[in-house]
A and B are shown apart, each in its own frame.
Chain A
Amino acid sequence: MKRYLARKVLIYLLTFWVAVTIDWAIPRFMPGDPIERLMSRMQAQPSAEHALTGYYTKAFGFDVPVWRQYLNFWAALFHGDLGRSVANFPTSVSSLIFGALPYTLALLVPAILLSFWAGNKVGALAARRRTLDNTVLPASYVLTATPQMWLGIVLAWVFATTLGWLPVSGAYDLSMQPAWTLEFARSFLLHWILPFLALFLVAFGGWAIGMRNMIIYELEADYSNYLASLGAPQKLVRKYAYRNALLPQVTGLALALGAVVAGAIVVEIVFAYPGLGTLTLSAIQNRDYFLIQGIFLLLIVGVLIANFVIDIAYVFIDPRTRIGMQGGA
């Protein structure tokens, strides 16, 4: 177990280093100089441009050689400093990210967990049950093949524009500011429903299909046949099949949760939801080096932690891993 852990930690550290280095490098080698863009945005007059360019170059640390910028980046990172946004100078990257993160979490965590739970249940039920399979399976295929953005637009059009039951965009009513009141909570929930549904339905279809196929596979496995031939009730056989079928799904769940911080870019954009997805898009559009870096860093850390947790969790939920580690067969 110790060796297993040590090896894993080493691999993760190495992956972290490589990923963060790439994260640092990509925006720097994208075409477009962020300071020139800033000058163009502020329509700086030539007589002010020189001083301004000098100031901002220094403020962003672009005045030192690239290798130095790389070292400075790591040094700042270990101090928890993600730098300042280029497009919204001097706002710090972390304040932008942490301003948007709660919205994304509120949207994605419930969407992922609920769709995982419901999708797996329904998928497992559907397997080998003709009527259910004939209805749930095609419906799931349609759902999972639906682009979230399109579903979002349809939902917005039907429930917001046409029926007028729910608000069309934003995270809360325009006449409000976030506050700890019932009125705000109500507004927040109303605005939350449609983007949540767009995410939930598409993910639901995927989980359901995955589970249905896994269950069929497991029900045909030797242990299932053996159990059935011993006269075990169908319910018990299915229970064991479900446990085994859940393993790959759990991996998928962890990865989905790890990637949560990337936000649901398209859905957030459709609903103008002020989460990380919207922030990511604007960061890329503005060539906002440090903001892009900060968001990707969060994503890297999220995915790595999720993977790590899975690696550890497998030891507990899958006896085969445990036995493998102990040298058994």
Chain B
Amino acid sequence: MTAVKKRRAAALGLVVAAVVTGTMLVTTGAGAKESSALALPRAQTLYMSGNQWSPNNDLNPAKNWDYVTGLVGFVYETPFRYDPLADKFIPWLATGGSWTSKTTYVMHVRQGVKWSDGKPLTAQDVKYSFDITNIPTHPQHPLWADTGLASTKVSGHDVVFTFKGTPGYQEFDFYRFNVAIVPQHVFKQYSATELTTSNLENTRNIVGTGPYRYKSGFGASSETMVWQKRLNWWATKALGLSVKPKYVVDIKNGTNAAALSNLLAGNIDLFNNFAPKSAISKRFKTYYGAAPYHLGANTTWLFPNTTRKPLNDAQFRRALAFSIDMGQILDKAYQGLVNKASPTGLLPIWDKWVDKSAVAKYGFSYSPAKAKSLLAAAGYKDVNGDGYVENKDGSKIELSIVVPNGWSDWMTAIQVISSSAKAVGIHLVPGFPEYGTLTDDRGHSRFDLLLGNDRQMSNTPWTYYQYIYNLPIADNQATMNYERFTDQPAWTLTNQLKRTKTSDAAAYKAVMSKLQTTFMQKLPVIPLWYNGMWSMVNTTYWTNWPSAKGLQYTPSSWRNYWQMTSIDMLTHLKPVSTT
């Protein structure tokens, strides 16, 4: 090498080194300023992943589809929590509450709770937190618009909620464990628009009552969010509870494959993404020790467009339901990781409300023979001998069935559905449009059949019936009743259910029976299987995880599950070693 060449090579080397160093400088500067690079002690740190897809830069508890993992649960807490597995409300920031009249609910605010800045939690804070949901752009605005809630007032240590007309008890109950209680003295600086739509990006304003405080990681380019245990959590003194991990690190999702290799490398303790069955081992465990391995978190439904022929015919829809070989779907698409849904579509946690005699009478299960006889009885015959039935007027039936491209389990599932439909003479053509196209078409009635699973487990099956029957139908059905089914009596029953107290068991059961019967008779949507609350836990660093045979808590880091019983998971964990 000549001297010139050497110099050139050295210059190139310098450029490269400069770029790498420069990047580090920039990432360091752009990242969390208050952070430290010192690695966290592994034995005292819980690593989790599976919830965060968007950047770690939303600190607005109102935006419960976007805020950083743990914001509600770790920092902000709710008046109650709800245990879906025991169907029980757990007093939390409220010590209790009761209906003092048909239209008045009194919530008792817990005394002695302090915000992390040292100020006491007051009934006024609780009132304020419920009041801001009355801003029309607040995502929880239905608390006011739909339940009949008319006013709130503070009375001593209580907050009194007054309703107009019969309250929507079920929906109000839902908000009792979903409205995050925020400090008025901090939040009052925000405008109405900021409170409902902005990211409230100032980390200094993370002032909560919960067990953790913000440590580092906040920012649009951050990959992890780190929480640190707070010393004076009220529940330690009041209830003897303490969260075990000193640090919790939430890892933003990249790709499923990268996440899975991180899990297998032992870097993740709580994994709430889908993982194949082969990943389950002695070290990596699931909630159940055997199939279906995971709790059912939501129902996957087949939505027919009921404004189109022949899907507007209940008999045709029922025939389609009987044709679906669920066993094959569970096997091929899920390797047995999910369970088939009840014909009512209700989640296992609502089993006690299932009307078994109605299911025996109107339910469905895989039976090609029954599907064929239903089709024949309703007048659908194969006129031209092509192996597929035609419409009653003789016109061809060729229906598309779509799921988003890339959702491989669902893609397999609709292939099974279309091949088992073919066996009874129904022509379904699977399609895989992009997700955006699909949601657009779904909202505007441009589809024949599609799959959906938007509603998660909650305190009440009312959320399911609302999802199915909501009226009136709008131009764009963005979030519910995609099938555009107009069934006024069922919608009236749904509203009646909303206005029935769970404690009024007889009335509640009666409405539920009616709803299940009409649902199964007409099948506006077809329940398929229960999507799992995907949860794989690593027993290397932490043990005593929730399980069907032990601690029955929700083993999930997903948003809105911390205020169910996911927080109990953290108070019950045991470190394998303490160093």
Contacts and interface: CB of A to CB of B under 8 A. Distances in A.
Interface of A: 30-34, 36-37, 39-49, 51-52, 55-56, 59, 87-91, 95-96, 98-100, 102-103, 105-106, 109-110, 113-114, 117, 156, 160-161, 164, 168-181, 183-185, 187-189, 192, 269-272, 274, 278, 282, 285-287
Interface string B1-42: 000000001001001100110111111101110011111101
Contacts of A103: 23, 27, 221
Given A106-B19, A110-B19, A179-B35, A184 B24 contact: yes
Contacts of A171: 27, 223
Interface string B199-228: 100000000000000001101111110100
27 contacts: A31-B436, A31-B440, A32-B437, A40-B454, A44-B139, A45-B146, A48-B139, A55-B193, A90-B197, A90-B199, A91-B199, A99-B219, A110-B20, A113-B16, A114-B12, A117-B12, A164-B265, A169-B254, A170-B223, A175-B45, A177-B217, A177-B222, A178-B27, A178-B32, A179-B35, A180-B37, A272-B255
Nearest to B54: A88
Given A169-B262, A187-B37, 15 more contacts: A42-B63, A42-B65, A43-B479, A49-B478, A52-B139, A98-B30, A105-B19, A171-B223, A175-B42, A177-B31, A178-B30, A181-B36, A181-B37, A269-B255, A278-B254
Nearest to B216: A177
A15 B259 CA distance: 42
Interface residues of B, number: 83
Interface string B470-482: 1000101011100
B27 A40 contact: no
A177 B33 CA distance: 9
B436 A32 contact: yes
B36 A179 contact: yes
B468 interface: no
A193 B310 CA distance: 58
A185 B27 CA distance: 11
- The residue in A51, A99, A103, A160 that gathers the most chain B C-beta atoms within 10 A of its C-beta is A99
A177 B57 contact: no
Contacts of B249: 174-175
B145 interface: yes
- The residue in A44, A176, A187 that gathers the most chain B C-beta atoms within 10 A of its C-beta is A176
B372 to A, nearest CB: 37
A106 B20 contact: yes
A271 B258 CA distance: 7
A103 B20 CA distance: 9
Nearest to B441: A31
A179 B436 contact: no
B23 A106 contact: yes
B443 interface: yes
Contacts of A187: 37
A285 B217 CA distance: 25
B251 interface: yes
A36 B443 contact: yes
B220 A99 contact: yes
B471 to A, nearest CB: 9
Nearest to B65: A42
A55 B197 contact: yes
B12 A91 contact: no
Contacts of A183: 37-39
A44 B479 contact: yes
A192 B35 CA distance: 21
Contacts of A282: 53
Nearest to A179: B37
B455 to A, nearest CB: 8
A83 to B, nearest CB: 14
B24 A36 contact: no
A10 B525 CA distance: 60
Contacts of B37: 176-181, 183-184, 187
B422 interface: no
A47 to B, nearest CB: 4
Interface string B417-457: 00000000000000000111101100100000000001100
- The residue in A56, A59, A95 that gathers the most chain B C-beta atoms within 10 A of its C-beta is A95
Contacts of B137: 48, 51-52, 55
Interface in B219-272: 219-224, 226, 249, 251, 254-255, 257-259, 261-262, 264-265, 267
- The residue in B136, B138, B454 that gathers the most chain A C-beta atoms within 10 A of its C-beta is B136
Contacts of A168: 258, 261-262, 265
Contacts of A179: 28, 31, 35-37
A30 B141 CA distance: 32
- The residue in A32, A46, A171 that gathers the most chain B C-beta atoms within 10 A of its C-beta is A46
B5 to A, nearest CB: 10
A109 B39 contact: no
A114 B65 contact: no
B142 interface: yes
A272 B258 contact: yes
B93 to A, nearest CB: 24
A45 B20 CA distance: 48
A52 B267 CA distance: 39
Contacts of A274: 221, 223, 254
Contacts of A37: 436, 439-440
Given A47-B145, A271-B258, A59 B16 contact: no
